Amino acid sequence: MIVVWVLLGILVLGLVGVFISYGAIWLQAFMSGAPVSFANLIGMSLRQVKPSLIVRARVMAAQAGLISNLKAGVSTGQLETHVLAGGNLMKVMVAIIAAKQAGIELDFERAAAIDLAGRDVLDAVRTSVYPRVIDCPDLAKSGKATLSAIAKDGIELRVLARVTVRTNLNQLIGGATEETIIARVGEGIITSIGSTDSHMTVMGMPDKISKDVLLRGLDSNTAFEVVSIDIADIEIGQNVGARLQADQAEADTRVAQANAEVRRTEAIAHKQEMIASVVSKRAQLVLAESKIPMAMASAFRDGNLGEYEDDNTNW
């Protein structure tokens, strides 16, 4: 009997200890319409998951009407799994509730996947409700305040565009980020201006540029949906066409000067060759003249020097 009473005492003490440890949490969950059994609470502790965090998340889900929503699928096991995977459970729950209040379809599985992928799921929901405006180009990242584009008439235009985007929750996982949107918008603006015959057309109808860019489907395979593209500022820059023509003319002048210098050098070399040739001929002449006295002396010795007649000369 003593052993039985001891065992009963230990059992009672254990139950009292469990109630003291988990009673407040159990009562909070029960009174909030999100009941959790003592066994589940003890199992959470054994799995190194804070029971208070799971209960708080279930209470939030119950108050938002997500417990009974089969599509939302918010169960104790899913909550524990997300915590054990290193996710931010409270941010996910707040994002789901905010999406439900805004009429955006977002279940727990998708929200948990977005959170585990490293994206801020709450910020994504907020951007879906309140679209974000981003500058193109981004001064903080590119160091440039405007885009530089050149029309066909050679006039440079400096453009600042503002892009309004809304988060696309269906493509948030694996979708490209804001940097891709900014790059695509910048490329579209430069291409559109470059295909315009005159810069005055762009200055007179800047909305035409933004409409052309918007029709390119810039938000494909990205985590955002482009709502609008607005030209916030546009300025006239340099006359690039005239500058290029001037540079080309200067380059042509240098080429012509180089060609003239080559011809002048060739002429000088040819002149020196002619001078050398004249000197050579004079040397040959002097050599020939030096042989005349020797020939005359030889003729005297041989007696060959006499009269010689022909039609033109008399000796």
Tens digits of residue pLDDT in 119-152: 888 888 888 888 888 888 888 877 888 888 888 8
Which residues on adjacent β-strands are paired with residue 314? 309
Give pLDDT tens digits for 181-226: 888 888 888 888 888 888 888 888 888 888 888 888 887 888 888 8
Of residues 46 and 164, which shows the higher confidence score? 164
Which residues are CB-contacts of 76 (< 8 A; sequence separation ≥ 6)? Answer: 36, 40, 54, 58
Would you tell me the crossing angle of helices 38-46 and 51-63 to the nearest 10 degrees? Answer: 130
Helix%, strand%, coil% for the chain, nearest 5: 60, 15, 25
When pLDDT is cut at 50, 70 and 90, the band that residue 12 belongs to is low
Name the architecture of domain 132-239: 2-Layer Sandwich (3.30)
| pLDDT at 89 > cutoff 80 | yes
CA distance 218 to 168: 13
Helix or strand (DSSP H, E) at 228:
strand 224-239
Helix or strand (DSSP H, E) at 229:
strand 224-239
pLDDT (0 to 100) of residue 69: 45
Lowest-confidence pick of 97-111, 127-141, 177-191, 292-306: 292-306
pLDDT (0 to 100) of residue 315: 45
Domain ranges of the chain: 2-129, 132-239
The per-residue pLDDT of the chain, averaged, comes to: 81
Of residues 17 and 58, which shows the higher confidence score? 58
Q: Is-cis flag, bond preceding 137, omega within 30?
A: yes
Considering 43-57, 79-93, 197-211, the range whose residues carry the highest mean pLDDT is 79-93
pLDDT (0 to 100) of residue 303: 72
CA distance 134 to 127: 12
Give pLDDT tens digits for 254-277: 999 999 999 989 999 989 989 988
pLDDT (0 to 100) of residue 109: 86
What does DSSP say about strands 147-150 and 224-239: parallel, antiparallel, or unpaired? unpaired
Average pLDDT of the residues in 159-187: 85
pLDDT (0 to 100) of residue 19: 59
CA distance 71 to 163: 34
Alpha helices in 47-85 (DSSP H): 51-63, 76-84
Average pLDDT of the residues in 4-12: 60
Q: Please say whether the beta carbons of 157 and 110 come within 8 A.
A: no
Give pLDDT tens digits for 18-45: 556 677 777 777 777 777 887 788 778 7
pLDDT (0 to 100) of residue 71: 42
